[in-house]
Chain A
Amino acid sequence: MAVELLKGNVAFAEAAVRAGCEAYFGYPITPQTEALEHMAKRMPELGRVFVQAESEVAAINMVYGAAAAGARVMTSSSSPGVSLMMEGISYIAGSEVPAVVVDVMRGGPGLGNIAPAQCDYLQMVKGGGHGDYRSIVLAPSTVQELIDHTVLAFDLAEAWRTIVVVLADGSLGQMMEGAELPPMRPPRPPSERAAWALTGAIGRPTNLVSSIHLEPSEEEAFNQRLQAKYAAIEAAEVRVEEHLTGDARIAVVAFGTAARLAKTAIAAARDDGLAVGVLRPITLDPFPTAALRALAERVDGLLVVEMNAGQMLQDVQRVVAERVPVRFFGRTGGVMPMPEEIGAAIRELAHEVGAADDAAPWQEVPA
């Protein structure tokens, strides 16, 4: 496969096709609609399932149905649409069927706008739907990663029988970037669907896909099993990138697009003599707790940068537990934080914690 210029939304949709996705159910919403449009063309052409649902509520329940049948299935949407999916996501978690959801986040709350944002971190990482469930949440920061994470999402979803969320944002969905698509994997034939799937009880006892446990002790036993699974996921599936953290005295913690902007910002700060690095959680759940804690032992201060009002910040504060000062810089409402602004926040923190002694003199950055 060769590197091509690809638009994020089209890239992840095509990646899903090549990962053997058998069915896509969705509803148009900016800034992810190109994914739905790509699927509308590609899936029928390959003899696979595409349905434009009447709502995101219906879309996620169609996903639930196809997942219950043991098919590789996905949906994609953006913030307001994902809010509507929360009930279905909880049912999917509660019945342990595998499914992939791509959320191309936009500015909110409410109808908000269609500009890139990261303001659904808490919704996607901390639940959003009802009940004690968790999802695996992947946070790509380039179009290439958006492709790779979509493929990985299907494999993780099936390996763990869980929801996997690819948490992108409007800039990733809309940007065009050089990236390489994976080779085509043919879909699994229906005869090879999982043993638990609803395939018809031919010569075997009947299967049930359900999230109901009326007896509290049974529900608790089920919850304990879910928690044990989440603990196993935490032990096996943490993914994190550390960028120039080896000698860092200050580290930026950021995910997705914000991490990308932070990398640009620290390059400039390093030119000015500041020892700065970036820790980028790739899995938001499971959160890279150990890597962050180890980093907090080494640096003098952490700056969390997000395209929201400080959501992952809560996780960073929890993990760091006041070992070092944690400061925050964020922009909201679909406004992207500029590298210069991030740079200013880095310098401010460096001065505060005495990590800027060898650096060039502090300069106010024009707003």
Chain B
Amino acid sequence: MTTAPLATTPVYERPDALTDVPTHYCPGCTHGIAHRLIAEVIDELGVRETTIGVASVGCSVFAYRYFATDFAQAAHGRAPAMATGLKRVSPERLVFTYQGDGDLASIGAAEILHAAARGEAITVFFLNNATYGMTGGQMAPTSLIGQKTTSSPLGRDAASQGSPIRMSELIAQLDGAAYVVRRSLHDVVQIKRAKKAIREAFEVQQRGLGFAMVELLSSCPTNWGMAPDEALGWIRDAMVPAYPLGDFKVPEGLRPARKGAHA
């Protein structure tokens, strides 16, 4: 047995689907993790040259700088409509959107619901960080009851400011939605699960099964006023109970039947 020098075995590399530029995200922000997972999956599926991304308006507005794929930059909330136009005239391409919670669940609520209802063959990555990151930490439709934000300084009050919207549960109700799952980015196990879901969401599109969305619970240490590790703890302890992780809809036949499982 020959022994190769350890140093030549790469254990961590930049995926081809990511560009070689530093991101503008704050230290400890999980947007970067989500980008990397998506890029790794694009590499693994070998679809970098046949994928078109649609960036939204929010902290991820510059997503196009980081993905080495063709990209469009949509108006606030309109990424699913723009993706609809792109996909309908390019059915042989993989089209994905990358949207925050203000973008997807507030100003773009109509666009996401109807894209799902139509069963648009697009893949949506929905980063839920329970706040408007880019504009400085205002209340989002997904902010938790009691969560202090710059526009709910006393804490979100259900009576006057409404209650959090669970978009995945809502969208899973629609017949057009084929694949809807919620994952989290707060620790290694969850990140690995998130990556699997990202891969499945692309496969749903590749196989023409319909609309696919992965909601990712994400951190905003800057606007939450927390250290990065504290922020990850807040996802686990405060967000996950309000936004249960799991599969809300998975098309039949997407996953191989488990050994020993009954048909």
Contacts and interface: CB of A to CB of B under 8 A. Distances in A.
Interface of A: 22-23, 25, 49, 51, 53-55, 57-59, 61-69, 71, 73, 87-88, 91, 95, 190, 198-203, 206-212
Interface of B: 48-52, 54-55, 61, 64, 68-75, 78, 81-90, 93, 110-111, 113-114, 118
A65 B81 contact: yes
Contact of B64 (A59, A200, A208): A208
A66 B49 contact: no
Given A54-B113, A190-B89, A210-B64, 8 more contacts: A23-B89, A53-B81, A57-B111, A58-B84, A58-B111, A202-B50, A207-B70, A210-B73
Given A65-B54, A68-B85, A87 B75 contact: yes
Contacts of A199: 70, 90, 93
Contacts of A65: 54, 72, 74, 81-88
Given A69-B86, A206-B70, A208-B64, A201 B75 contact: no
Closest 3 CB pairs of A and B: A65-B85, A61-B81, A210-B73
A25 B110 CA distance: 16
Contacts of A59: 81
Contacts of B110: 54-55, 57-58
B78 A58 contact: yes
Nearest to B111: A58
A68 B113 CA distance: 23
A201 B93 CA distance: 11
A64 B82 contact: yes
Given A55-B110, A88-B75, A208-B70, A49 B89 contact: yes
Residue of A62, A201, A208, A212 with highest tally of chain B CB at under 10 A: A62
Given A65-B85, A66-B88, A54 B71 contact: no
Contact of B82 (A23, A68, A212): A68
A207 B258 CA distance: 42
Nearest to B87: A65
Given A62-B84, A62-B85, A69-B85, A200 B75 contact: no
18 contacts: A23-B89, A25-B85, A54-B114, A58-B114, A61-B111, A64-B78, A65-B83, A67-B85, A69-B85, A73-B85, A95-B73, A198-B70, A198-B72, A200-B90, A201-B48, A202-B49, A206-B68, A211-B73
A208 to B, nearest CB: 5
A88 B72 CA distance: 13
A22 B70 contact: no
A202 B92 CA distance: 13
Nearest to B48: A201
A22 B71 CA distance: 21
A201 B42 CA distance: 13
Contacts of B118: 51
Contact of B69 (A23, A54, A87, A201): A201
Contacts of B82: 61-62, 64-65, 68
Given A51-B84, A61-B81, A66-B85, A210 B111 contact: no
Contacts of A63: 85
Nearest to B84: A62
A68 B68 contact: no
A87 B107 CA distance: 13
B209 to A, nearest CB: 19
Contacts of B113: 54
Residue of B64, B70, B75, B78 with highest tally of chain A CB at under 10 A: B70
Contacts of A87: 75
Contacts of A61: 74-75, 78, 81-82, 85, 111
A200 B88 contact: no
A209 B73 contact: yes
A200 B47 CA distance: 9
A188 to B, nearest CB: 11
Residue of A51, A66, A69, A211 with highest tally of chain B CB at under 10 A: A69
A97 to B, nearest CB: 9
B75 A91 contact: yes
A64 B81 CA distance: 9
Contacts of B78: 57-58, 61, 64, 88
Contacts of A25: 85
Contacts of A91: 74-75
B122 to A, nearest CB: 10
Contacts of B51: 200
Nearest to B68: A206
B87 to A, nearest CB: 8
Contacts of B50: 200, 202
B134 to A, nearest CB: 12
A198 B114 contact: no
Nearest to B117: A54
Contacts of B86: 65-66, 68-69, 198
Nearest to A202: B49
A49 B91 CA distance: 11
Contacts of A53: 81, 114
Contact of A200 (B55, B73, B74, B93): B93
A57 B64 CA distance: 23
A28 B110 CA distance: 17
Residue of A54, A88, A207 with highest tally of chain B CB at under 10 A: A54
B49 A203 contact: yes
Contacts of A200: 49-52, 69-70, 90, 93
A107 B113 CA distance: 32
B90 A69 contact: yes
Nearest to B78: A61
